[in-house]
């Protein structure tokens, strides 16, 4: 199977290396042009003072300045296009790869990580990395090149001693930058964690808003939100404080540098060691050195933020999927629906006792198995194992005689249709929601609409759908909020039926429908699923009794197994539940 490539930002940077090479080459030209402007101005001043520059020579000098200006203007556009373009493309690729990787991760990962936290990686952390590989890369390079060029120009065009004098305070800047960087990284990590926590809080409160209001917890929740928001503000302020301290410190050092050159350079002009033009140019050069120093602080800040974000992004990429394909899919490979549980024992990765214990059942192709059991007896866990949401020990779960992990995931998920206990609807039209599990899209295959209608009829939801003003085009609110529980459940059944898969698993999927509708759906199921395997998990005996076999789970163990009549004769849990529910029904009908 394909080996997972180790994640490194270097690979992304390498892919856009030419964008960076061109960008940096253009930047060099811009810096070169920039560096000559003070010299040209100095030459004009000296030429005019010494009267060596004639009137006719002035336009020539101005032309040189204009050309340098034009190079700078077009060059700045050019490097911005290359470098910012590359950073946007890297961000786009990273985001795509990150989302793709997240979708390969198993249920365990999502049990352990909060949605809001993951969302923060997609926004804040990626943004921080983008700024670092765009603006910060160019700024660092520009600052370094600019400083070196300016210093060389100061030495060659003006004076070595004056340059050393102006530069000594800058050593202090380098030392300061180091300590600033260490502190900044710590504060940026804390800031990003606080933002993640805040995102998570907002996400959870909005998804749970109905429960929140029903239990009148708005005030308490607002207090919790305010606390998270305050923490986020404090962590941001800690960053701002450090940055605000560093900025003026840089100004002070550059100020001292300017003061020294003014005093000593002024004396040199008086002594005639340097000309007025050179002195003016020198001061412009000092001004040009200020920017790289400020950039230095900004870059440390940006790189610290990016490095904290990058670590969190890397953690996602380094997370290995638990559920992986072990064999390649063969052409035309399909499941027949033969399922065998052989002493199936399973314990959740974070659990301390087995949830399923020595369960052995053989479901032949075309059979309908019903599973009954008290709440928490392991019924949904069984469905999860059949879908490989979790892996059990090899050989305990066979499909078509093969261990389940030797069935390609694509084949398994295509050939096993599933109606979960908690029905999830996407914010799309009802018809798209029902067609969700198909490999073909309605847009390309409009004839699918007939099949959607058939599936909806079988799931007893068609008459509801056509009563909606927009019919099948009705937009379902986020997570299906605009549908009733029963409507959501039946849409979910229609979605699974439409797949017409060799195996169908229904996890307590008829709990929200009335008994008449339940009977109708079951009749349709038996008719449509002839020759195909169906597993129905339910609490109501009326749902289960028509199955070929019924399995009763008690605290993870298979305690009863047989047909309806056999289990009634046995007089165990199933028979008791049947009796009780019969009585309830009779009472209801009285
Ligand atoms: N992700 C998980 N991690 C750890 N334990 C879990 C996890 N999911 C479920 N369990 C535990 O496994 C046991 C079986 O849960 P399961 O959902 O399979 O029961 P069930 O029979 O489907 O219950 P119900 O009828 O209420 O849906 C329970 O004790 C539950 O607490």
Q: Whose CA is nearest to atom 26 of ligand 1?
A: 375
> What's the pLDDT band for 412 if we cut at 50, 70, 90?
very high
Reported as a pLDDT band with limits 50, 70 and 90, residue 236 is very high
pLDDT at position 479 is 67
Each residue of 354-369: pLDDT tens digit? 999 999 999 999 999 9
What the block records as the tokens of 501 is: 């898969």
CA 384 to ligand 1 centroid distance, Å: 10
Question: How far is Cα 435 from Cα 95, in angstroms, rounded to an integer?
Answer: 27
Range list of H helices, 208-275: 209-214, 218-271
User: Which strand ranges, in their side-by-side order, compose the sheet holding 503-507?
Assistant: 402-403, 397-399, 339-346, 356-363, 557-562, 549-554, 368-373, 533-537, 503-507, 416-419
Residue to probe by mutation, ligand 1, list 106, 355, 573, 577, most atoms within 8 Å of CB: 355
Q: What is the tens place of the pLDDT at every residue in 276-294?
A: 888 887 777 777 777 777 6
> Quick check: helix, strand or coil at residue 503?
strand
Would the CB of 509 count as within 6 Å of ligand 1?
no
Please compute the mean of the pLDDT values over residues 338-351 and round it to a whole number.
92
Mutate to test the pocket of ligand 1, among 344, 348, 349 (most ligand atoms within 8 A of CB): 348
Name the band, by pLDDT with cuts 50, 70 and 90, for residue 481: low
Q: What angle do CA 465, 442, 437 make, to 5 degrees?
A: 80
Nearest residue to 511 (alpha-carbon basis) of 533, 484, 552, 543: 543
Neighbours of 519 (CB within 10 A): 16
The single residue listed with the structure tokens 């003061």 is 259
Q: Could you tell me the distance, in angstroms and rounded to a whole number, from the CA of residue 381 to the centre of ligand 1?
A: 6
DSSP state, 203?
Answer: H
In the predicted model, is pLDDT for residue 384 greater than 80?
A: yes
Averaged over 48-57, what is the pLDDT? 77
Complete domains list, the chain, with CATH: 9-178+246-318 (1.20.1560.10), 339-589 (3.40.50.300)
Q: Tell me, using a 6 A CB cutoff, whether residue 420 lines ligand 1.
A: no
How many CA atoms, within 13 angstroms, populate the side-chain half-sphere of residue 432? 13
Q: CA 586 → CA 57, 117, 276, 522, 581, distances in Å?
A: 113, 52, 111, 21, 9
Q: Could you tell me if the CB of 349 is within 6 A of ligand 1?
A: no
pLDDT more than 70, % of the chain:
97
Q: Residue with the nearest Cα to atom 30 of ligand 1?
A: 376
Q: What is the average per-residue pLDDT within 540-554?
A: 88
Higher local confidence (pLDDT), 451 or 162: 451
Low-confidence winner among 50-59, 368-377, 394-403 (lowest mean pLDDT)? 50-59
Question: What is the per-residue burial (b if ≥16 Cβ within 10 Å, else e) of 40-71?
Answer: bbbbbbbbbeeeebeeeeeeeeeebeeebeeb
**DSSP string for residues in 372-389:** EE-TTSSHHHHHHHHTTS
Give per-residue pLDDT as tens, 421-471.
Answer: 888 888 889 999 999 988 888 888 888 899 999 999 999 999 989 988 888
- What is the mean pLDDT of the segment spanning 340-354? 92
pLDDT of 507 > 70? The answer is yes
How sure is the predictor about 535, in pLDDT bands with cuts at 50, 70 and 90?
A: very high
How far, CA to CA in Å, does 429 sit from each of 189, 435, 478?
A: 41, 10, 11
Half-sphere exposure of 197 (CA within 13 A, CB side): 17
Burial of residue 308 (CB within 10 Å: 0-12, 13-18, 19+) is buried
- For the chain, the average pLDDT equals 87
What's the confidence (pLDDT) of residue 1?
47
Whether the pLDDT of residue 21 is over 90: the answer is: yes
| Residues whose CB falls within 8 Å of the CB of residue 120, separated by 6 or more in sequence, listed in order | 192, 195, 196, 199, 200
pLDDT at 229 over 90: yes
pLDDT at 7: 81
350 lines ligand 1 (CB under 6 A): yes
Res 82 pLDDT > 90? yes
In this predicted complex, what is the ipTM? 0.96
Instruction: Please list, in sequence order, all residues whose beta carbon lies within 8 angstroms of the beta carbon of residue 13, skipping any fewer than 6 positions away.
Output: 20, 90, 133
C-beta 582 within 6 A of ligand 1: no
- What is the mean predicted confidence (pLDDT) over 480-508? 88
Distant-in-sequence, close-in-space partners of 335: CB < 8 Å, separation ≥ 6: 399, 400, 407, 411, 412, 415, 416, 502, 503
Element (H, E) at 297: helix 276-318
Task: Give me the pLDDT at residue 111, please.
Answer: 83
Q: 219: exposed, middle or buried (C-beta count within 10 Å: 0-12, 13-18, 19+)? A: exposed
Phi, psi dihedrals of residue 374, rounded to the nearest 5°: -65, 165
Nearest atom of ligand 1 to the alpha carbon of 377: 21
Tokens of 16: 């856009």
> CB of 353 closer than 6 A to ligand 1?
no
How many Å lie between the centroid of ligand 1 and the Cα of residue 385?
A: 12
Q: Pick 288 or 475 by higher pLDDT.
A: 475
- The pLDDT, as a whole number, for residue 90 is 94
- Residue 378 Cβ inside 6 Å of ligand 1? The answer reads yes
Other beta carbons within 10 angstroms of residue 224's beta carbon come to 14
In 3D space, the residue among 11, 7, 15 whose CA is nearest the CA of residue 85 turns out to be 15
| Residue to probe by mutation, ligand 1, list 110, 351, 573, most atoms within 8 Å of CB | 351
**How many whole angstroms from 421 Cα to the centroid of ligand 1?**
12
pLDDT tens digits, 105-159: 988 888 888 887 888 888 888 998 998 888 888 888 888 888 888 888 888 877 7
């Amino acid at each position: 199977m394909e080996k997972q490539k180790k994640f490194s930002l270097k690979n992304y940077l390498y892919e856009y290396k030419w964008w960076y090479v061109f960008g940096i080459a253009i930047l060099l030209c811009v810096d070169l042009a920039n560096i000559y402007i003070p010299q040209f101005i100095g030459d004009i001043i000296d030429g005019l003072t010494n009267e060596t520059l004639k009137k006719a020579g002035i336009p020539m000098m101005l032309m040189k300045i204009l050309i340098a200006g034009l190079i700078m203007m077009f060059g700045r556009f050019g490097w911005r296009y290359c470098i910012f373009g590359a950073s946007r493309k890297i961000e786009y690729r990273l985001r795509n790869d990150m989302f793709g990787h997240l979708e390969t991760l198993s249920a365990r990962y999502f049990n352990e990580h909060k949605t809001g936290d993951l969302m923060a990686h997609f926004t804040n952390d990626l943004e921080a990395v983008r700024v670092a590989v765009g603006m910060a890369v160019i700024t660092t390079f520009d600052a370094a090149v600019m400083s070196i060029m300016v210093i060389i120009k100061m030495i060659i065009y003006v004076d070595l001693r004056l340059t050393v004098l102006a530069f000594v305070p800058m050593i202090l800047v380098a030392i300061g930058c180091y300590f600033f960087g260490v502190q900044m990284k710590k504060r940026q990590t804390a800031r990003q964690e606080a933002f993640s926590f805040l995102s998570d809080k907002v996400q959870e409160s909005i998804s749970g808003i109905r429960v929140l209001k029903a239990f009148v917890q708005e005030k308490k929740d607002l207090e919790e939100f305010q606390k998270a928001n305050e923490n986020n503000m404090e962590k941001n302020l800690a960053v701002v404080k450090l940055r605000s301290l560093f900025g003026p410190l840089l100004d002070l050092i550059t100020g001292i540098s300017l003061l020294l050159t003014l005093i000593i350079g002024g004396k040199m002009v008086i002594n005639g060691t340097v000309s007025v033009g050179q002195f003016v140019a020198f001061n412009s050069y000092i001004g040009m050195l200020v920017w790289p120093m400020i950039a230095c602080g900004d870059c440390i800040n940006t790189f610290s933020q990016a490095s904290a974000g990058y670590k969190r992004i890397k953690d996602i990429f380094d997370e290995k999927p638990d559920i992986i394909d072990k064999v390649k899919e063969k052409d035309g490979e399909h499941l027949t629906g033969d399922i065998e549980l052989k002493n199936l024992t399973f314990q959740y990765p974070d659990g301390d006792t087995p949830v399923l214990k020595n369960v052995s059942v053989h479901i032949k192709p075309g059979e309908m198995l019903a599973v009954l059991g008290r709440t928490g007896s392991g019924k949904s866990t069984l469905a999860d194992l059949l879908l490989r949401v979790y892996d059990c020990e090899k050989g305990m779960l066979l499909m078509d005689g093969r261990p389940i992990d030797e069935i390609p995931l694509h084949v398994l998920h295509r050939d096993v249709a599933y109606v979960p206990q908690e029905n999830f609807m996407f914010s799309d039209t009802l018809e798209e929601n029902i067609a969700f599990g198909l490999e073909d899209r309605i847009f390309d295959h409009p004839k699918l609409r007939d099949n959607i209608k058939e599936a909806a009829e079988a799931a007893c939801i068609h008459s509801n759908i056509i009563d909606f003003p927009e019919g099948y085009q009705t937009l379902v609110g986020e997570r299906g909020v605009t549908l009733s529980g029963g409507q959501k459940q039946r849409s979910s059944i229609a979605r699974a039926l439409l797949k017409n898969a060799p195996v169908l698993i229904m996890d307590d999927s008829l709990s929200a429908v009335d008994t008449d509708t339940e009977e109708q759906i079951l009749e349709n199921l038996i008719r449509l699923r002839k020759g195909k395997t169906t597993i129905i998990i339910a609490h109501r005996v009326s749902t289960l009794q028509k199955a070929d076999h019924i399995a009763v789970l008690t605290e993870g163990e298979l305690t009863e197994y047989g047909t309806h009549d056999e289990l009634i004769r046995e007089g165990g849990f199933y028979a008791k539940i049947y009796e009780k529910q019969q009585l309830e029904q009779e009472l209801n009908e009285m």
